[in-house]
Amino acid sequence: MFLRKTLIWKCLEWRVFGRAMKQGRSLSSGSRLDLGGIYPPIVTPFDKEGRVEFQQLESNVREFSKIPFRGLVVQGSNGEFVFLTSEERVEIVRRVRKVLPEEKLLVTGSGCESTETTIAMTLRMAEAGASAMMVITPFYYRGRMNSAAFIQHYTQVADASPVPVVLYSVPGNTALELPTDAILTLSQHPNIIGLKDSGNDITRIALIVHKTRNCNFQVLAGSAGFLLSAYSVGAVGGVCALANVLGEPLCNLEKLCLGGQWAEARELQYRLIEPNTAITQKYGIAALKEAMGWFGYYGGLCRSPLLPLTEAERKDLRNSFTSNGWL
């Protein structure tokens, strides 16, 4: 069994290495995969019967490929991954990789509640074409999810993964935060290359950047609402739900920050705060999918038990965009 797993791991490692060379990137121990840039955590469109609409998914990916994103995140929180079967999760990765240009990174959410199932999903997604894994914190037994448990979990996943691993802390959904001391320990692992932090705490992000500079650990902001602030303290990019609808402006905000044009970046950031709050905190995925239709993408329906917006919610959502000049 051990020999079989080792052979599978090596085969996957060589496949991933080949893709990395096409992307002009190195996966050797001497340099880490460059995560810098903007990523939309893409949605999973469903039809009225709750089935995944794969053709519409692929159509969205083709449109996103025209925007200067660094890549896409598949099955982050906005992908409704907790509502998908294991087979659907892997097939979505396979379909996206098929139409996504080779030079674009495909970061996939492989996190599950147990370490064993996370490793199994990680191996399957790597085989389906993922460039890196974004692994959410296990949270069901949150009372026992302390630093020691997280360090053990992520170390075992990273040891087994044939592609780099990105830590994913999203306390708004899990009701717990990946502790800073655990992040600092895990940043030393050669196959753990970064963190997506959705906790809205810019002081924490700054501290993590400061404490991990010597190991080339990369931090991604988890929301468009604090993207400018994250860049100002050393984040390398962002995984932003709003990029599903305002991708070009968010890439422009990145360009302004990297170019030191902070006054212009600040004015753009102001205009992004209200629509971002509406689709991330106020109304959630249903609002994001609704807004996608206004900008030429296909959102589709959410899978039950998530409900569509009411008419009043839809009007308020639209006002968040129109009052800031986006519609």
288 exposed, middle or buried (CB, 10 Å; 0-12, 13-18, 19+)?
buried
pLDDT at 18: 52
Asked if the structure places residue 202 within a domain, the reply is yes
How much is the pLDDT for 16?
A: 52
Residue 271 and residue 284: Cα distance in Å, rounded? 19
Catalytic center residues: 196
Q: What's the rounded mean pLDDT across residues 169-174?
A: 93
For residue 138, is the peptide bond before it cis, meaning its omega torsion is within 30 degrees of 0? no
CA–CA separation, 196 and 311 (whole Å): 33
Separation CA 22–CA 147 (nearest Å)? 37
pLDDT digits (tens, 9 = 90+) for 110-166: 999 999 999 999 999 999 999 999 999 999 999 999 999 999 999 999 999 999 999
The per-residue pLDDT for range 43-65, each reduced to its tens digit, is 999 999 999 999 999 999 999 99
Find the angle CA(227)-CA(165)-CA(22) to the nearest 5 degrees.
Answer: 90
pLDDT band at 32 (very low <50, low <70, confident <90, very high): confident
| Locus of tokens 């044009």 | 261
Using alpha carbons, list the distances in angstroms from residue 124 to 35, 55, 247: 22, 22, 29
| SS3 track for the chain | CHHHHHHHHHHHHHHHHHHHHHCCCCCCCCCCCCCCEEECEECCCECCCCCECHHHHHHHHHHHCCCCCCEEEECCHHHCHHHCCHHHHHHHHHHHHHHCCCCCEEEEECCCCCHHHHHHHHHHHHHHCCCEEEEECCCCCHHHCCHHHHHHHHHHHHHHCCCCEEEEECHHHHCCCCCHHHHHHHCCCCCEEEEEECCCCHHHHHHHHHHCHHHCCEEEECCHHHHHHHHHCCCCEEECHHHHCCHHHHHHHHHHHHCCCHHHHHHHHHHHHHHHHHHHHHCCHHHHHHHHHHCCCCCCECCCCCCCCCHHHHHHHHHHHHCCCCC
* Token code pair at residue 47: 């039809």
Q: What is the mean pLDDT of residues 290-302?
A: 97
Compute the distance between CA of residue 119 and CA of residue 106 in angstroms, rounded to an integer. 18
CATH of the domain at 129: 3.20.20.70
Can you read off the two tokens belonging to residue 152?
């053990």
Distance CA 52, CA 47 (A): 7
| % of the chain residues with pLDDT over 90 | 90
CA 314 to chain centre: 26
Would you place residue 27 in the very low, low, confident or very high pLDDT band (cuts 50, 70, 90)?
very low
- Cβ atoms within 10 A of the Cβ of 276, count? 26
Please give the Cα distance from 100 to 102 (Å, whole number). 6
Q: Is residue 75 part of a domain?
A: yes
Looking at the domain assignment, is residue 309 inside a domain?
Answer: no
Q: Is this prediction's pTM over 0.75?
A: yes
Q: What is the CA radius of gyration of the chain?
A: 19
Examine residue 195 and state whether it is found in any structural domain, yes or no: yes
The tally of domains found in the chain comes to 1
Residue 194 has pLDDT above 80, yes or no: yes
In a domain? residue 322? no
Q: Is the pLDDT of residue 1 over 90?
A: no
Longest Cα pair distance anywhere in the chain, in angstroms?
A: 61
Q: Please give the residue range of the domain that contains residue 247.
A: 2-269
